[in-house]
């Protein structure tokens, strides 16, 4: 078995290793979990279906009434991931993600209110809180008596989270917090805040520390409700900290380790957002198919036309593959893997972009109706736009995905370089190192490595498995090549990094989908899984073309031309050419 | 006193029913299934009686395959104390269901049996009446109001002519109508609590009841599509239009 503390499927993949056991078989819910989820889904539907009209009004009004939030609390939606011992539901990551899917089908504002509480607001407490802290806060957080918010972003620190200016000064028996946090989801309804602030270390350096701040502390105040493009009914505000005295027992995790705490929370919370996105796609497929069957042009329902079928077919592929990836990441976390940050980032990028495309295409299918506020499409488009921005912009996540992998490759090369010194001191040990190196690189070049094969897959999906294997070899070679070419300067090479990230995203989605389809074939037979195999075929062919293109462009591209055009535009800050 | 409540797994009332192309039934693949709404009302009434201190235990019972455990769990999540599944792969007809329920009555000795007046899938509306006859106890059907008074129950029934109030001695079988109450929503923590409540599985054969029937299903067909209506200005035009269509 792979070591769950250190193994990451994607990070190994970038070095040419396929850790098949990590992804196969596809993670499945137990019969008991499934039954519970059926009941949860049914109860969620019963609660939210009658509210459809209200959701529309609250979007226009830009606010959810307090008594509805009270209803959500009573219903138990704030206790999803809190262990049963503290009065919550104790759902696994997969079950949590599936539950948010169900909520997301009805209303994104509700999903994000619940998600901001569980995925990030109180997750730090769950992951790193002391027993005493959990005893103090968990029961209230489970019932919704306490609602949580995650306070990292500031006016000058979004993607660049390390640049926060909020300070925490150690005084006699407390910390003194000062600063202001921006765009805090649940800000207006929360009374439990996970706040990140800069603390002065003994050595004078400023490091980040996470604190639990509650609204009853003197000096905590909330700004006005932000007027947003989408998710309008969810609360987003500033949170101001003016000489807030926080007791030392409210430090979350170790002082000075706040940045790591923030990343841990965000990584582990990404399944929530992915789940919400998949739920949105399922809802869009229902809307779009009903609309296309009903709407007639030229005497025929538009569902009979190829260009409509193309859109709906792609929505199905996007939804199935997104669900494969999101479920896979939830499964990895539930199985106890610790190194899932790259995979989680991929699932967030992929699922949010699929949802965006589905929302856009569903609106297109609805035509002029889609543009009218009477119909749900424009609201879904507005609601889903933020997904590509918050909880890590998709651009930053792409850089993160590729740079993490490249760092591994670099470490490996470095290790090799340092052990090379020993070659002359210890010929026997040195010989071993040398031959490992030679073998690995021969493997990458010739592609004959035994470890770079998927084993025991059904022959019905053999061509797709082969595509995965082939492109994996190219990936390892490309990572190696990019690194040799740019060395440390890779940090500044965002075009190249992005291409590598795109390839990694396609490969992880492909691997997760292969796993999902393979497991379906094993359970139900090839015939029953034939549509799923079709989905895999469509996805693989398109992903392969994209990957080929991205590989080609690593060396052969117009990056410099594009950059020059951009730099010129930055200089004049306008479009240079006009026809008059 | 124990109250026994019958529960049937049916296609959710919000789902648009699709008849299978060969007419052998309706499509339930991937379709949302729920507790028959009338049974939910029966359960809600039982829970209210218990919570008012007039009963000690509420038992939900359902006959069907293991998938009906989902609906029994919903019943437990609503607040029933325990559940019994009469396990059978057959689609039981009302008479067999009534016979099986009678066996459960003999085991449990309930003071009151509450059932929905009919299931929204086949709309038979027979099980309660047959059960009362087999058990040889009083019945009150289509209850819209129910008051317990020691050894008897006062039941208001919805009948064609209006409301009828009758008194029945307990134990009795009462089938409930839509307006009796409004069932509570299941809350998420209740779902977790329900997992720890007992759910007994008893195979139909063990009760000595055969899954036989006196009804034969010919085929299923969707109802004909309704034609679009028109708005009429006044009564005179209404009469005119009806005449035109040969309806009066």
Strand partners, B9: B35
Sorting pLDDT into bands at 50, 70 and 90, what band is A449? very low
- Neighbour count for residue B85 (Cβ, 10 Å): 22
Q: Do B73 and A79 touch (CB under 8 A)?
A: no
Minimum-distance CB partner of B188 among A32, A38, A75 = A75
Distance CA A370, CA A363 (A): 5
pLDDT at res. B96: 95
Sorting pLDDT into bands at 50, 70 and 90, what band is A532? very high
Sorting pLDDT into bands at 50, 70 and 90, what band is A429? very low
Q: How far is B31 from chain A (nearest CA, A)?
A: 12
Higher pLDDT pick, A72 / B214? A72
- A→B contacts (Cβ < 8 Å), by residue, are 32, 35-36, 38-40, 42-43, 45-47, 49, 74-77, 79-80, 84, 87-90
Distance from chain centroid for Cα B157: 16
Q: Do A35 and B74 touch (CB under 8 A)?
A: no
Higher pLDDT pick, A446 / B40? B40
A391 is catalytic: yes
> What number is the average pLDDT over the span A318-329?
97
Q: Do B191 and A75 touch (CB under 8 A)?
A: no
> Cα–Cα distances in Å, from A368 out to A194, A290, A305, A363?
44, 16, 18, 9
Q: How do residues A295-306 score in pLDDT, each as one tens digit?
A: 999 999 999 999
- B→A contacts (Cβ < 8 Å), by residue, are 14, 32, 34, 69-70, 73-74, 77, 185-192, 194-195
> What number is the average pLDDT over the span A445-456?
62
Minimum-distance CB partner of B185 among A36, A39, A46 = A46
> What number is the average pLDDT over the span A144-161?
92
Mean pLDDT for chain B overall: 94
Contacts 24+ apart (CB under 8 A), B211-215: B211/B88, B211/B90, B211/B92, B211/B96, B212/B93, B212/B96, B213/B92, B213/B93, B213/B95, B213/B96, B214/B93, B214/B95, B215/B93
pLDDT at position A536 over 90: yes
Determine contact, residues A125/A58, Cβ cutoff 8 Å. no
Cα nearest neighbour of A89 on chain B: B189
> What number is the average pLDDT over the span A227-232?
96
Q: Do A43 and B187 touch (CB under 8 A)?
A: yes
Which of A30, A34, A39, A90 has the most B C-beta neighbours within 10 Å, making it the best mutation to test the interface with B? A39
DSSP symbols for A481-520: HHHHHHGGGGGG-HHHHHHHHHHHHHHHHHHHHHHHHHHH
Q: How far is B120 from chain A (nearest CA, A)?
A: 18
pLDDT at res. A201: 64
Distance CA A332, CA A494 (A): 29
How is residue B181 written in tokens? 């109450």
Q: How far is B184 from chain A (nearest CA, A)?
A: 10
The one catalytic residue in A391, A440, A471, A532 is A391
pLDDT at res. A355: 97
Q: Do B191 and A39 touch (CB under 8 A)?
A: yes
pLDDT at res. A438: 43
β B139-149/A220-222 pair status? unpaired
Q: Do B185 and A75 touch (CB under 8 A)?
A: yes
pLDDT at res. A233: 96
Q: Which helix (H) or strand (E) holds A284?
A: helix A258-294
Distance CA A162, CA A196 (A): 10
* Chain A residues lying within 8 Å of B185, measured CB to CB: 43, 46-47, 75
Which of B188, B190, B192 has the most A C-beta neighbours within 10 Å, making it the best mutation to test the interface with A? B188
Q: Do B189 and A89 touch (CB under 8 A)?
A: yes
Q: Do A87 and B189 touch (CB under 8 A)?
A: yes
pLDDT at res. A451: 56
Contacts 24+ apart (CB under 8 A), A154-159: A154/A179, A154/A180, A154/A181, A154/A182, A155/A180, A155/A182, A158/A393, A159/A392, A159/A393, A159/A395, A159/A396
pLDDT at position A419 over 60: no
Q: Do B188 and A46 touch (CB under 8 A)?
A: no
* Chain A residues lying within 8 Å of B70, measured CB to CB: 35, 38-39
Ranges A36-40, A289-293, A318-322, B131-135: which has the least confidence: A36-40
Sorting pLDDT into bands at 50, 70 and 90, what band is A416? low
pLDDT at position A425 over 50: no
Share of chain B above pLDDT 70, in %: 100
pLDDT at res. B29: 85
How many A×B Cβ pairs under 8 Å?
Answer: 52
Residue B122, burial from CB neighbour count under 10 angstroms (0-12, 13-18, 19+): middle
> What number is the average pLDDT over the span B229-237?
90
pLDDT at res. B101: 97
Distance CA A452, CA A443 (A): 9
Q: Do A76 and B189 touch (CB under 8 A)?
A: yes
The upper half-sphere exposure of residue A75, i.e. CA atoms within 13 Å in the direction of its Cβ, equals 20
* Chain B residues lying within 8 Å of A45, measured CB to CB: 32
Higher pLDDT pick, B214 / A371? A371
* Chain A residues lying within 8 Å of B77, measured CB to CB: 39, 43
How is residue A159 written in tokens? 């993607």
Backbone angles phi, psi at A278, to 5 degrees: -65, -40
* Chain A residues lying within 8 Å of B34, measured CB to CB: 42
> What number is the average pLDDT over the span B52-81?
96
> What number is the average pLDDT over the span A115-124?
95
Q: How do residues A133-142 score in pLDDT, each as one tens digit?
A: 999 999 999 9
Q: Which domains does chain A have, with CATH numbers?
A: 148-257 (2.40.110.10), 396-567 (1.20.140.10)
Sorting pLDDT into bands at 50, 70 and 90, what band is A477? confident
Q: How far is A113 from chain B (nearest CA, A)?
A: 17
> What number is the average pLDDT over the span A479-501?
84
pLDDT at position A162 over 90: no
Q: Do B70 and A40 touch (CB under 8 A)?
A: no
* Chain A residues lying within 8 Å of B69, measured CB to CB: 35
pLDDT at res. A432: 43
Cα nearest neighbour of B183 on chain A: A46
pLDDT at res. B146: 96
Residue A342, burial from CB neighbour count under 10 angstroms (0-12, 13-18, 19+): buried
pLDDT at res. A442: 42
Residue A22, preceding bond cis, omega within 30 degrees?
no
Q: How far is A36 from chain B (nearest CA, A)?
A: 7
Q: How far is B187 from chain A (nearest CA, A)?
A: 5
Distance CA B123, CA B114 (A): 17
Determine contact, residues A265/A120, Cβ cutoff 8 Å. yes
Share of chain A above pLDDT 90, in %: 75
Q: Residue A420: which residues within 8 A CB-CB, separation 6 or more?
A: A430, A433
Distance CA A328, CA A348 (A): 12
- Rg, Å, chain A Cα set: 25
Residue A25, preceding bond cis, omega within 30 degrees?
yes
Angle at B221 between CA B220 and CA B226, to 5 degrees: 150
| CA terminus-to-terminus distance, chain B | 55
- Neighbour count for residue A498 (Cβ, 10 Å): 16
How is residue B146 written in tokens? 């129910």
> What number is the average pLDDT over the span A191-211?
85
Determine contact, residues A504/A401, Cβ cutoff 8 Å. yes
SS (H, E, C) A9-30: HHHHHCCCCCCHHHHCCCCCCC
pLDDT at position A423 over 60: no
> What number is the average pLDDT over the span A38-59?
93
β A206-214/A251-252 pair status? antiparallel
The reported pTM is 0.87
Q: How far is A34 from chain B (nearest CA, A)?
A: 10
> Cα–Cα distances in Å, from A17 out to A281, A518, B4?
33, 20, 60
Q: Which domains does chain B have, with CATH numbers?
A: 2-218 (3.40.50.620)
pLDDT at position B239 over 70: yes
Sorting pLDDT into bands at 50, 70 and 90, what band is A478? confident
DSSP state of A175: E
Cα nearest neighbour of A71 on chain B: B187
Q: Do B191 and A43 touch (CB under 8 A)?
A: yes
Q: Do A75 and B187 touch (CB under 8 A)?
A: yes
Q: Is the CA virtual torsion A325, A327, A330, A336 positive or negative? A: negative
pLDDT at res. A408: 79
pLDDT at res. A58: 96
Q: Which of A120, A108, A469, A396 is nearest to A270 (CA)?
A: A120
pLDDT at position A322 over 90: yes
> What number is the average pLDDT over the span A434-442?
46
Reduced to 3 states, what is the DSSP secondary structure of residue B167? strand
Determine contact, residues A224/A252, Cβ cutoff 8 Å. no
């Amino acid at each position: 078995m792979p070591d769950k503390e250190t193994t990451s499927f994607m990070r190994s993949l970038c070095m040419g290793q396929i850790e098949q056991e990590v992804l196969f078989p596809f993670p499945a819910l137990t019969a008991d979990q499934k039954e519970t989820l059926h009941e949860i889904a049914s109860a969620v539907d019963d609660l939210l279906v009658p509210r459809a009209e209200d959701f529309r009004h609250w979007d226009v009004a830009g606010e959810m009434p307090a008594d509805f939030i009270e209803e959500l609390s009573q219903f138990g939606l704030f206790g999803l991931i809190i262990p049963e011992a503290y009065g919550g539901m104790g759902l696994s990551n997969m079950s949590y993600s599936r539950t948010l899917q169900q909520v997301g089908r009805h209303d994104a504002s509700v999903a994000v209110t619940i998600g901001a509480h569980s995925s990030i607001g109180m997750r730090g407490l769950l992951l790193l809180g002391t027993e005493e802290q959990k005893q103090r806060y968990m029961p209230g957080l489970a019932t919704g008596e306490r609602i949580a918010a995650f306070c990292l972003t500031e006016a000058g620190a979004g993607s660049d989270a390390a640049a926060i200016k909020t300070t925490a000064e150690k005084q006699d028996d407390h910390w003194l917090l000062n600063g202001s946090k921006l765009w805090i989801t649940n800000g207006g309804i929360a009374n439990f805040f996970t706040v990140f602030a800069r603390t002065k270390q003994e050595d004078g350096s400023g490091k980040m520390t996470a604190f639990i701040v509650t609204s009853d502390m003197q000096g905590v105040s909330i700004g006005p409700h932000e007027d947003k493009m989408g998710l309008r009914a969810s609360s987003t505000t500033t949170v101001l900290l003016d000489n807030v005295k926080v007791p030392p027992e409210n430090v979350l995790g170790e002082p000075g380790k706040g940045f790591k705490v923030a990343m841990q929370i965000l990584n582990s919370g990404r399944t929530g957002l992915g789940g919400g996105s998949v739920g949105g796609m399922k809802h869009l497929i229902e809307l779009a198919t009903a609309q296309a069957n009903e709407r007639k042009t030229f005497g025929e329902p538009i569902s009979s036309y190829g260009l409509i079928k193309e859109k709906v077919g792609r929505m199905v592929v996007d939804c199935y593959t997104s669900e494969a990836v999101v479920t896979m990441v939830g499964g990895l976390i539930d199985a106890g893997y610790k190194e899932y940050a790259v995979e989680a980032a991929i699932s967030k990028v992929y699922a949010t972009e699929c949802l965006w495309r589905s929302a856009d295409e569903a609106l297109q299918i609805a035509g002029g109706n889609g543009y009218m506020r009477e119909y749900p499409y424009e609201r879904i488009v507005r609601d889903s736009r933020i997904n590509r921005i918050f909880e890590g912009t998709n651009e930053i996540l792409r850089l993160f995905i590729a740079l993490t992998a490249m760092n591994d490759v670099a470490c490996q090369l470095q290790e090799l370089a340092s052990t090379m010194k020993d070659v002359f001191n210890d010929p026997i040990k040195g010989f071993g190192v040398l031959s490992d190196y030679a073998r690995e690189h021969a493997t990458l070049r010739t592609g004959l490595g035994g470890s770079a094969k998927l084993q025991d897959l059904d022959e019905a999906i053999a061509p797709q498995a082969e595509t995965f294997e082939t492109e994996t070899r190219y990936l390892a070679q490309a990572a190696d090549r990019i690194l040799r070419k740019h060395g440390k300067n890779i940090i500044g090479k965002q075009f190249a990094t992005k291409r590598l990230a795109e390839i990694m995203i396609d490969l992880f989605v492909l691997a997760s989908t292969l796993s999902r389809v393979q497991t379906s074939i094993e359970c139900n037979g090839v015939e029953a899984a034939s549509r799923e195999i079709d989905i895999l075929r469509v996805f693989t062919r398109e992903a392969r073309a994209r990957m080929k293109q991205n590989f080609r462009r690593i060396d052969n591209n117009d990056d410099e031309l594009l950059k020059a055009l951009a730099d010129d535009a930055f200089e004049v800050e306008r479009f240079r050419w006009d026809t008059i | 006193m124990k109250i026994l409540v019958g529960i049937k797994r049916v296609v959710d009332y919000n789902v648009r029913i699709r008849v299978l192309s060969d007419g052998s039934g309706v499509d339930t693949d991937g379709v949302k299934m729920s507790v028959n709404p009338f049974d939910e009302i029966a359960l809600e009434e039982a829970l209210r009686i218990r919570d008012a201190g007039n009963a000690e235990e509420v038992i939900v019972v359902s006959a069907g395959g293991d998938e009906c455990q989902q609906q029994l769990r919903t019943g437990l999540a609503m607040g029933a104390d325990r559940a019994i599944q009469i396990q059978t792969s057959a689609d039981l007809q009302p008479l067999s269901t009534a016979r099986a329920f009678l066996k459960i009555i003999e085991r449990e000795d309930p003071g009151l049996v509450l059932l929905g007046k009919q299931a929204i899938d086949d709309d038979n509306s027979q099980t309660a009446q047959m059960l009362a006859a087999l058990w040889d106890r009083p019945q009150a059907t289509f209850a819209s109001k129910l008051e317990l008074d020691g050894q008897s129950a006062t039941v208001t029934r919805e009948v064609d002519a209006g409301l009828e109030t009758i008194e029945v001695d307990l134990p009795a079988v009462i089938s409930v109508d839509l307006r009796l109450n409004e069932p509570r929503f299941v809350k998420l923590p209740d779902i977790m609590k329900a997992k720890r409540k007992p759910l007994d599985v008893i195979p139909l054969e063990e009760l000595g009841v055969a899954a036989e029937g006196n009804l034969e299903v010919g085929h299923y067909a969707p109802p004909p599509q309704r034609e679009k209506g028109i708005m009429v200005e006044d009564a005179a035009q209404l009469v005119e239009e009806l005449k035109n269509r040969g309806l009066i």
